[in-house]
Amino acid sequence: MTIALIAHDSKKELMADFCRAYKHILSQHTLIATGTTGHLVEEKAGLPVQKFMSGNLGGDQQIMTRIACNEVDMLLFLRDPIGAKPNEPFEMQLLRVCDVHNVPAATNIATAEMLVLGLGRGDLDWRTIIPPQQLQV
């Protein structure tokens, strides 16, 4: 499965630590990420990551396009919920695209852990069984 990783600046270290903690599960899957987050995960967790541009340069849009094309099976997006962000409308679009394409999405560490543990148990294997076009609303 392909897992997309995005993290706000204040959550990048947490994402790297999370990936290091769940390396045994994540290493069995393809990881893609925005540039800075991807570099940090590679460096701290030792996992290979296909990196796109940094989020502020369009990397998050690149990932959203992959989700819309059914090339992503899960999104781990660690957001900083404190304070308004200039790109909040885009973040809502990103989550909407996940909803349209039935892509499980986590926006905090607790939900990310539940999704990754479920992934390890095989709870998300339905993503590889049901053709993507049947998942769309």
H or E element, residue 113: helix 109-121
Query: DSSP letter at 129?
Result: H
Options 17, 60, 73, 125, the catalytic residue = 60
Known active-site residue 99: no
Q: Do residues 84 and 114 lie in contact, with contact meaning Cβ atoms separated by under 8 Å?
A: no
Helix axes 12-21, 109-121, angle to 10 degrees: 30
Q: What would the two tokens of residue 135 be?
A: 């998942």
Can you tell me which residue has the tokens 């304070």? 83
Residues β-bridged to residue 8: none
The residues that are catalytic are 60
